Structure 1
Amino acid sequence: MGTKWNSTNYPGVRYREHKTRKHGIKPNQYFAIRYQKDGKRKEEGVGWASEGWTPSKVALKLAELKSAATTGEGESRLSEARAKVEAEKQQEQARQEQAEKDNMSLSTYFDEIYYPAISQEKKAKTAITEEQLFRIWIKPIMGDKPMKDISTFDLERLKKTMLDAGRAPRSVEYTLTTLGQVFRHAERLDYFQGDIPTTKVKKPKFDNKRVRFLSHDEAHHLLENLQKKSNETYEIALLSLHCGLRAGEVFSLTWKDVDLDHGLITLLDTKSSKTRTVSMTADVQSFFMAKKTGGKQDLVFPDKKHGGIRKQISKTFPRTVTEAGLNDGIEDRRQRVTFHTLRHTFASWLVMNGISLYDVKELLGHATLTMTERYAHLAPDRNKKAAATMEKVFQKNDESDEQDRTKAYEELESGQAIDLKEAMNEW
């Protein structure tokens, strides 16, 4: 672009020509304006002739700026006007982007934003479960709707559909919880504004706590049959029954966690995020000593196919439970025997043999004592002791009442009682 400025027929308007670039048959011209502001000379570039600027249009723009400077209304500098236009442009772009966010369907948000995020943040099993719940139950009912249009009515339909299909109340609750997490995630990223609908829906009531525990004979026969079918499944079951380990804790156990010299097992990164140590029984210590020891970082019970951490208990366990008839005729899932029943049995036997709830809490690795209190009713003679104590209390009261009645009669006979009705009320 040339460096020489050329004047025009309009005061304050000038231009210079580009050395090579043409506009029509003439060199392309770049226009600028000059004016006084706050006692100082200002100069601002306006634009090219190829952009539609002419000397008359530039002069008109200069007149508008001078008028704004005089009246105080509007922008008195070209840069201010450009900034305003840019701000309006950005605001409009933001409005369009927000409109796109507001109108994004629940399914699109889940598939493109939520699920990719939780796949990195949550455990793989948790992410897969949420995806399945969304795809099977949530998506068919409200997947095509924008999140802002989803109401409590939609959620009530979801509840009814799942319950009518025979889904457990716990599954319904988990599905609603998953949906609530999607909304909260969208809220953090400004894809949703307003009240989260799941907070206004009453979750179905249920008691999901398992109450079944094995008798000594049932446990003995189950372990005996497991050992015949799979020694490794037997060892995993024995660990849960004798030491109260969760399946995941058994699967994550490495040889560095097993202290055979002292008969201890150290459990790291448990469900409650606490490290705990449990003692081995003689049977547990015996099978560990007979087992081929690996390196410190090696898993005690690695997945046979992949060599990593197991994902689930062997099918040998439920098959053996079925063959033993432990679940025959039992429909209530709280009464059915599962692998977790072994841990539940461990805790139940301890309480029944006088071990305090606090000690059981520590052995189980519960985060709070409230979780362990479910076993309180199994404490030995707990109800009998309570009944005996109350009986003593009532006997004591009866004796006191008899003494009061005798005293009242004596006072009546001696004339000390002022009012018979008042004396009778003392009984």
Structure 2
Amino acid sequence: MKLFSRIKSTSNSNRSQQQRLTLNQFFDQHYYPHAKATTKQHHHAFSIYNTHLRLRMGEYALEDLKTAVLDVWVREQIVAGYQRSTINKHIHLMNRLLNLARSWRYIDFDRDQQPIKRLSIGDHKQRFLSSAEIEALLRQCQRSTHPYLYLFIKLLLLTGARKGEALRVRWCDINFDKRVWTVPRSKNGRSRRIVLNDDAVETVLAAGSVAERFGLRVGGNAYVFQNPRTQSSYQSFYAAWYIARDAAELGDVRIHDLRHTFASLLVNKGVSLYEVQTLLGHSSIQMTQRYAHLAPDLLHRRAQLVGDIVGGKSI
């Protein structure tokens, strides 16, 4: 009986210590080592936590992170002017942390404690650039003092690549003979191949010329868009992008809209949705279906093919 009491007392003592873990301690000692070993995107969680959670929320004990505290944390971000989509990323990570803390019994499961609700962001209106807008945008990018902005934006327009894919492209990812760019890990976690047209190949080679002017290595594991100061990949092109975009009077255009523009140009030229799906690297046709409305005249012509057969016009 005494042995049982001693074991119970020790268990309660350990549980008390676990409950007083701060969010920082839980992330550093438990969550991040687990994420690093089991997920491919752990570096995103590391960056988000250190930038947006560590200082503001990290000293709270896990058991003190109740709904009222978390609601204030979300509200402060809204007032600070963060985009709702960005706040939702922070919310996702916080929910993940607390769910695992409950699952691993570092805090008790509380039926009244609900996950933080994601903020409504509505449907972003798809934006497709016209030929004139593309010309105006590229003209302003050429005027930029940023050594790579013009080539980076042009490559996105020519390939439909995602911004993150282009930021991390290395010379060894590109097969110039086959004119194929292999993305080792895309958004869905799989590798994908991007077909390069002649202009895209020239754009990549031009980036190599820029790198050589700065005395940077070209080839192998070196990044195509290599920061001359850090000799690593750029984190973003946002500062230079915003200046060029606004100068072109395209303030409502996002970098991701360049990918939409690539798709729209293909569809309007009669390229099938299946081919667009392949070129964009979509995992399902449903993701590509959003572009179906862009070519109503083409769809009518395709439907008329059957009308001509049934009506006897093609016999």
Shorter-normalised TM-score: what interval?
0.7 to 0.9
Q: 1:320 aligns with which of 199, 224, 244?
A: 244
What corresponds to 1:187 in structure 2? 102
What corresponds to 2:156 in structure 1? 240
**In 1, are the aligned partners of 2:168 and 2:223 still within 8 Å (CA)?**
yes
TM-score by length of 1: 0.58
Measure the CA separation in 1 of the matches of 2:26 and 2:189.
Answer: 31
**In 2, are the aligned partners of 1:247 and 1:313 still within 8 Å (CA)?**
no
Structure whose alpha-carbon radius of gyration is higher: 1
Identity %: 26
What corresponds to 1:170 in structure 2? 85
Measure the CA separation in 2 of the matches of 1:254 and 1:385.
Answer: 43
Q: CA 1:281/1:197 → structure 2, altered by over 3 Å: closer, same or farther?
A: farther
Q: CA 1:256/1:197 → structure 2, altered by over 3 Å: closer, same or farther?
A: farther
Q: CA 1:119/1:285 → structure 2, altered by over 3 Å: closer, same or farther?
A: closer
Measure the CA separation in 1 of the matches of 2:258 and 2:18.
Answer: 49
Measure the CA separation in 2 of the matches of 1:174 and 1:196.
Answer: 24
Q: How far has the Cα of 1:269 moved from its partner?
A: 1.5
What corresponds to 2:212 in structure 1? none
Measure the CA separation in 2 of the matches of 1:261 and 1:342.
Answer: 26
SS state at 1:337 partner? coil
**In 2, are the aligned partners of 1:151 and 1:197 still within 8 Å (CA)?**
no
- What amino acid is the match of 2:169? L
Measure the CA separation in 2 of the matches of 1:131 and 1:339.
Answer: 25
Measure the CA separation in 2 of the matches of 1:111 and 1:284.
Answer: 43
Aligned length: 293
**In 1, are the aligned partners of 2:95 and 2:115 still within 8 Å (CA)?**
no
Q: 2:227 aligns with which of 303, 308, 316?
A: 303
Q: How far has the Cα of 1:99 moved from its partner?
A: 1.9
Deviations for 1:204-230, whole angstroms, at most 9, x for unmatched residues? Answer: 322253522221111112212323435
TM-score by length of 2: 0.76
Deviations for 1:139-181, whole angstroms, at most 9, x for unmatched residues? Answer: 6xxx64552x544444444444444554443234323222211
Asked whether 1:132 is paired with 2:51, we answer yes
- What amino acid is the match of 1:263? R
Asked whether 1:95 is paired with 2:12, we answer yes
**In 1, are the aligned partners of 2:273 and 2:288 still within 8 Å (CA)?**
yes
Where structure 1 has 5 or more consecutive residues not aligned to the other structure, the ranges are 1-83, 328-335, 393-427
Q: How far has the Cα of 1:89 moved from its partner?
A: 1.9
Measure the CA separation in 2 of the matches of 1:367 and 1:272.
Answer: 8
Measure the CA separation in 2 of the matches of 1:215 and 1:197.
Answer: 52
Measure the CA separation in 1 of the matches of 2:289 and 2:123.
Answer: 15
Q: 1:211 aligns with which of 121, 126, 136?
A: 126
Measure the CA separation in 2 of the matches of 1:145 and 1:286.
Answer: 55
Measure the CA separation in 2 of the matches of 1:171 and 1:288.
Answer: 31
Q: More strand by proportion, 1 or 2?
A: 1
Q: CA 1:295/1:132 → structure 2, altered by over 3 Å: closer, same or farther?
A: closer
Measure the CA separation in 1 of the matches of 2:267 and 2:171.
Answer: 30
Measure the CA separation in 1 of the matches of 2:67 and 2:24.
Answer: 18
Measure the CA separation in 1 of the matches of 2:224 and 2:83.
Answer: 35
Measure the CA separation in 2 of the matches of 1:257 and 1:159.
Answer: 40
**In 2, are the aligned partners of 1:321 and 1:337 still within 8 Å (CA)?**
yes
Measure the CA separation in 1 of the matches of 2:111 and 2:36.
Answer: 23
**In 2, are the aligned partners of 1:155 and 1:198 still within 8 Å (CA)?**
no
Deviations for 1:101-142, whole angstroms, at most 9, x for unmatched residues? Answer: 234454654466546765786543432223333247656xxx
Q: 1:275 aligns with which of 184, 191, 196?
A: 191
**In 2, are the aligned partners of 1:274 and 1:365 still within 8 Å (CA)?**
no
What corresponds to 1:223 in structure 2? 138
**In 1, are the aligned partners of 2:161 and 2:194 still within 8 Å (CA)?**
no
SS state at 2:93 partner? helix
Q: How far has the Cα of 1:192 moved from its partner?
A: 1.7
Q: CA 1:296/1:218 → structure 2, altered by over 3 Å: closer, same or farther?
A: same
Measure the CA separation in 2 of the matches of 1:104 and 1:275.
Answer: 39
Where structure 2 has 5 or more consecutive residues not aligned to the other structure, the ranges are 210-216, 308-315
SS state at 2:194 partner? strand
Measure the CA separation in 1 of the matches of 2:81 and 2:170.
Answer: 40
Deviations for 1:34-69, whole angstroms, at most 9, x for unmatched residues? Answer: xxxxxxxxxxxxxxxxxxxxxxxxxxxxxxxxxxxx
Q: CA 1:255/1:176 → structure 2, altered by over 3 Å: closer, same or farther?
A: closer
Q: CA 1:196/1:373 → structure 2, altered by over 3 Å: closer, same or farther?
A: farther
Displaced runs of 4 or more, over 6 A: none
Q: How far has the Cα of 1:349 moved from its partner?
A: 1.9
Measure the CA separation in 1 of the matches of 2:195 and 2:47.
Answer: 35
**In 2, are the aligned partners of 1:276 and 1:363 still within 8 Å (CA)?**
no
**In 1, are the aligned partners of 2:140 and 2:245 still within 8 Å (CA)?**
no
- What amino acid is the match of 2:11? A
Deviations for 1:355-385, whole angstroms, at most 9, x for unmatched residues? Answer: 2333222212223333333333323338x95
Measure the CA separation in 1 of the matches of 2:24 and 2:112.
Answer: 16
Q: How far has the Cα of 1:97 moved from its partner?
A: 1.1
Q: CA 1:153/1:347 → structure 2, altered by over 3 Å: closer, same or farther?
A: same
Q: How far has the Cα of 1:243 moved from its partner?
A: 0.4
